[in-house]
Amino acid sequence: MKIAVIGAGLAGLSAALMAREKGYQVTVYTKGIGGMTLSAGTGDLLGYLPNGPNPIVDNPYQAVTNLPDNHPYHQIGTPHLRAGMEWYRQALPDFWAAANTANANTFLASALGSVRPTYLVPQTCAAGALHDQMKLLVVGLKQFKDFPATLIADNLNRAERFSLSARAVTLDFSGRGDEADVTATDYARNLDIADLDPQRAGKLRQKFATLLNNTVKSGETILIPALLGLNPQTFREFQALVHAPVAEVPTVPPSILGRRAYDILVNSCREARVDIRTNCEVLSAASQNGTVSALRVARAGGVDEVKIDAVLDAAGGLTSGNFERDSHLNIQEKVFNLPVFTPVPEATGYINSIHQIDRINRQELERILMSGVAVDATMCPVDESGHRLYENVFCLGEMLGACAPWRELSGEGLALGSAWAAVQALASPERSHS
């Protein structure tokens, strides 16, 4: 069976690997590298509930039942959410910390010093799991402008959930010659164990470690921006040089943590013989009686018609360009002409939590960004009455509407849960015999 996957973000790459594990022939079609480098690189399942008496979520699986009735998590189902998150943990064993046996969120520091819940914790962030009476040294770098150490420390000291003691320092450490402005990617490449000059990279890691050892005090945990190499092993070798626990903090995009996870998934796809075709765009589909038989794919030099048996569509929503809004303010999905639903204000469950400044415009913007495709429990798209539109098209990730992953911290759960649900439905005995 030939499976086409549209999109190379977390949902697309994960669905491709899951389908390959079922023995299908899988091809990924994507215009670019997807959005994983725009994410924090953590495994978010559900961090916040809208308008609840306690909006911060401790146990995400329990909190799912408190989401609005039209939230896609209810169609995906808790078993598929659990299976998808566990698949992700096992697919990146050298990336994640130990399994979360308590089914509870862990709280990490954000790039601005807020207390941020997440479900799966990268190994390089694990030492930074926040708890009462924790002493923190927040380390900024003079040459890296996207990590305001003083602001982060001040905000952590004001945290209501934990009683923390944080202090900030800014070190003079350029990972790239004498440059005064160095990006996270430049630092990561020059500190990496896979650098073209391993000896030079090793000396840079030792220099950074010595600066930290000369600064840290007894009992402190060091928080540094996430830039310790593109290979997860680089951080482990660096940690051994430092005389105190060290934790990376996700920074603003491009995210080094997200890039590491992306690289692992892409390499896994290549090893599994998943065909990834970049710089191409799926334009439209040929279908009959609710079954798609071919895709028209634009690539350099022309347009191909590709015969397929099923489609796992993870092309994203408005922010990815997969949805278009015309001059009449109608939103349309481009490839399969699927109806896109925008929740009415009363149904979003988010209105009271929106910031008061420019309240009306913010409400409207977030409502539009919550637009998406409605699906049934198999992730097949449905119309307003719940009638299935295609039998062999499955919609994944941010295509699904009536949710706000950026506010809920549910992006990874949405991607992985829908991917798992779709692939299980695709491989079900009922479908195989139909």
46-76 burial by CB neighbour count: b if 16+ within 10 A, else e?
A: bbbbbeeeeebbeebbebbeebbebbbbebb
| Contact residues for 352 (Cβ-Cβ < 8 A; gap 6+) | 50, 51
The pLDDT assigned to 360 comes to 58
Contact 183/253 with Cβ under 8 angstroms?
A: no
What is the predicted pLDDT for the residue at 194?
A: 80
- Does position 198 have pLDDT exceeding 90, yes or no? no
Tokens found for residue 368: 């539009």
Reading phi first (left if > 0) and then psi (alpha if -120 to 50, else beta), residue 204 is in alpha
Q: Which structure tokens are listed for 300?
A: 């350099």
Sheet hosting strand 25-29, strand order edge to edge: 275-277, 25-29, 2-6, 310-313, 393-395
Question: What's the Cα-to-Cα distance from 365 to each of 8, 345, 350, 359, 368, rounded to whole Å?
Answer: 26, 11, 12, 10, 5
DSSP per residue over 280-298, as a string? -EEEEEEEETTEEEEEEEE
The predicted model gives 306-325 an average pLDDT of: 94
At residue 345 the predicted structure's pLDDT band, cuts being 50, 70 and 90, is: low
Q: Is 415:11 a contact under the CB 8 Å cutoff?
A: yes
- 111-249 folds as Rossmann fold (3.40.50)
The per-residue pLDDT for 346 is: 57
Q: pLDDT tens-digit profile of 147-172? A: 999 999 999 999 999 999 999 999 99
Checking if the pLDDT of 425 tops 50, the result is yes
Q: Which residues pair with 168 in a beta bridge?
A: 138
Alpha carbons 150 and 169: distance in angstroms, whole number: 7
Kindly report, residue by residue over 58-81, the tens digit of the pLDDT.
999 999 999 989 999 999 999 999
- 363-403 pLDDT, tens per residue? 778 888 899 999 999 999 999 999 999 999 999 999 999 99
Report the range of poorest mean pLDDT among 322-331, 354-363, 390-399.
354-363
CA distances from 82 to 62, 122, 314, 407, 412 (A): 12, 18, 20, 21, 12
Percent of the residues in the chain that have a pLDDT greater than 70, as a whole number: 94
Q: Mean pLDDT over residues 271-276, rounded?
A: 98
| 412, containing H or E segment | helix 411-426
- The answer to whether domain 2-91+261-425 and domain 111-249 are alike in fold is no
Instruction: Enter the tokens of residue 184.
Output: 């996270």
- What average pLDDT is seen over the chain? 92
- If one compares 233 and 194, the residue with the highest pLDDT of the two is 233
Residue 358 pLDDT: 55
Give the start-end residues of each E strand in 33-178. Answer: 106-109, 115-118, 134-141, 164-171
Summarize the confidence of residues 161-187 as an average pLDDT.
93
Sequence-separated (6 or more) residues with CB below 8 Å from residue 432: none
Report d(CA 317, CA 322) in Å as an integer: 5
Give the range among 39-48, 90-99, 320-329, 361-370 with minimum mean pLDDT. 361-370
- The mean pLDDT of 391-420, rounded to a whole number, is 96
The residues facing 166 across adjacent strands are 136
- Please check whether residue 286 is in contact with residue 305, taking contact to mean a CB–CB distance below 8 angstroms: yes
Domain parsing of the chain, residue ranges: 2-91+261-425, 111-249
pTM: 0.94
- For residue 391, how many other CB atoms are within 10 A of its CB? 16
Structure tokens, 233:
């092993």
Pick from 252, 248, 256: which is nearest to 126 by CA? 248
What does the block give as tokens for 21?
A: 């594990």
Look up tokens 């078993």; give the residue. Answer: 79
Per-residue pLDDT, averaged over 247-274, amounts to 96
Q: Please, what sign has the CA dihedral across residues 170, 117, 165, 228? A: negative
Residue 244 has pLDDT above 60, yes or no: yes
Residue 351 above 70 pLDDT? no
The C-alpha R_g of the chain, in whole angstroms, comes to: 22
Alpha carbon 303 to its chain's center: 31
3-state secondary structure 19-47: HHHCCCEEEEECCCCCCHHHCCCCECCCC
State yes or no: pLDDT of 427 exceeds 50. Answer: yes
Going by pLDDT thresholds of 50, 70 and 90, the confidence category of residue 362 is low
Q: Are 148 and 231 in contact (CB under 8 A)?
A: no
Alpha-carbon 9 to chain mean position: 8
pLDDT tens-digit profile of 203-241?
A: 999 999 999 999 999 999 999 999 999 999 999 999 999
* CATH for the 2-91+261-425 domain, from 3.40.50.360, 1.10.8.60, 3.50.50.60, 3.30.230.10: 3.50.50.60
pLDDT at 364: 77
